[in-house]
């Protein structure tokens, strides 16, 4: 199996462009393992790269496709009965040689880890969709807008006046959202996430818990960004849209709303992972701090990386929670609830 450096070297030799996209569909899949194997064989043949989850409840994919293989990919996917008509969400911004470096397709219990027992409510009873035009109107009239993403995603970009929850996982968010916004049950509420998949489940869950008027942005931030550009609408999203691939973010708003988490002075919305693999902390860094620390999140990680692997791991693991809290407290934003 090739390591990351070898995979990147292979990508550097490519003489074609790739198109980044995501898609999901809640649909019954009788045999996820069989579906996974079929997808892997064909997508490997088409030289597609990405991360795809398959479960009995459907599919969730983030990937890229060589431009010259697009028609073949589209024909293949749309001719699978379970996925016929599935809409694509194309990247707002392409960066680097490739958004993914390999193809991973896994069978999962769920296509999004939500921690919910679907037998206790109706996941299909979702909230109404809101398109970009309605989203802008709702924001202008003061509708409660709830960001259904993790705190590190919202740190670099979010909608105007959005309510941002101090959570690290979608599972944790669903456990808290109905209590944190219980005073809004009789009011209009708007949810959003990256591409829409989390809000499908979240809106159904909130309706089950007594929220009477829940809407969510159709296609998430990605489709909103495309639509406001196509229609020439005001852009109510500020900053970057965090994405779970090598790009780490795509520019939607021109503003930089976050600050370097090391110096806490310079504006930055560039995420990097600490070079110490025992830490691998995801953090925002300005170029100056990235250079000064050589890609590490701290001097401690820089020093410990010179130790034998077991000593390095022991030291980092003992200080991991303290280390993590150091960066959480440094998120620069408003409206955290």
Q: 120: which DSSP letter?
A: G
Q: Are 35 and 108 in contact (CB under 8 A)?
A: no
Contact between 192 and 134 (Cβ < 8 Å): no
DSSP-H helix ranges across 1-131:
4-12, 32-45, 70-78
Nearest to residue 200, comparing CAs of 56, 39, 60?
60
**CA separation for the pair 54, 48 (Å, rounded):** 16
Pairing of strands 237-241, 250-251: antiparallel
DSSP per-residue string spanning 211-263: -SEEEEETTHHHHHHHHHHHHT----EEEEE--SSTT--EE-SS----B-TTT
- Reading the block at residue 15, the tokens are 């003489």
- Using only C-alpha atoms, the chain has a radius of gyration, in whole angstroms, of 21
Distance CA(253)–CA(183), nearest Å, equals: 31
Strands 237-241 and 163-164: what pairing? unpaired
* Catalytic position from the list 48, 193, 199, 301: 193
Catalytic residue list contains 193: yes
What percent of the chain is helix, strand and coil (3-state, nearest 5)? 35, 20, 45
Residue (of 116, 103, 114, 115) closest to 61 by Cα position: 103
Q: Which residues are catalytic?
A: 193
């Amino acid at each position: 199996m090739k390591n990351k450096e070898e995979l990147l070297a292979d990508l550097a030799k490519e003489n074609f462009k790739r198109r980044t996209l995501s898609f999901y569909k809640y649909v019954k899949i009788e045999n996820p393992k069989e579906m996974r194997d079929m997808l892997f064989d064909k997508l490997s043949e088409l030289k597609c790269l990405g991360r795809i989850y398959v479960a009995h409840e459907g599919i969730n994919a983030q990937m890229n496709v060589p431009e010259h293989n697009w028609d073949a990919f589209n024909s293949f996917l749309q001719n699978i009965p379970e996925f016929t008509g599935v809409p694509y969400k194309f990247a707002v911004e392409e960066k680097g040689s490739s958004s993914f470096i390999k193809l991973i397709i896994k069978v999962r219990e769920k296509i999004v880890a939500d921690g919910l027992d679907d037998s206790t409510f109706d996941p299909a009873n979702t909230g109404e969709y809101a398109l970009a035009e309605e989203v802008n109107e709702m924001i202008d009239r003061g509708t409660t807008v709830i960001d259904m993403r993790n705190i590190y995603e919202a740190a670099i970009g979010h909608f105007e006046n959005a309510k941002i929850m101090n959570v690290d996982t979608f599972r944790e968010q669903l456990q808290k959202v109905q209590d944190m916004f219980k005073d809004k049950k009789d009011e209009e509420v708007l949810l959003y996430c990256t591409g829409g998949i989390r809000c499908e489940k979240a809106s159904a869950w909130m309706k089950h818990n007594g929220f009477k008027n829940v809407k969510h942005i159709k296609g998430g931030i990605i489709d909103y960004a495309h639509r406001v550009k196509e229609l020439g609408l005001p852009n109510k999203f500020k900053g970057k849209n965090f994405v779970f691939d090598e790009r780490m973010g795509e520019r939607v708003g021109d503003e930089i709303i976050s600050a370097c988490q090391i110096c806490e002075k310079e504006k930055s919305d560039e995420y990097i992972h600490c070079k110490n693999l025992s830490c691998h902390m995801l953090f925002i860094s300005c170029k100056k701090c990235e250079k000064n620390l050589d890609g590490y999140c701290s001097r401690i990680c820089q020093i410990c990386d010179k130790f034998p692997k077991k000593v390095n791991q022991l030291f980092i693991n003992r200080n991991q929670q303290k280390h993590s809290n150091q960066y959480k407290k440094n998120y620069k934003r408003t409206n955290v609830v």
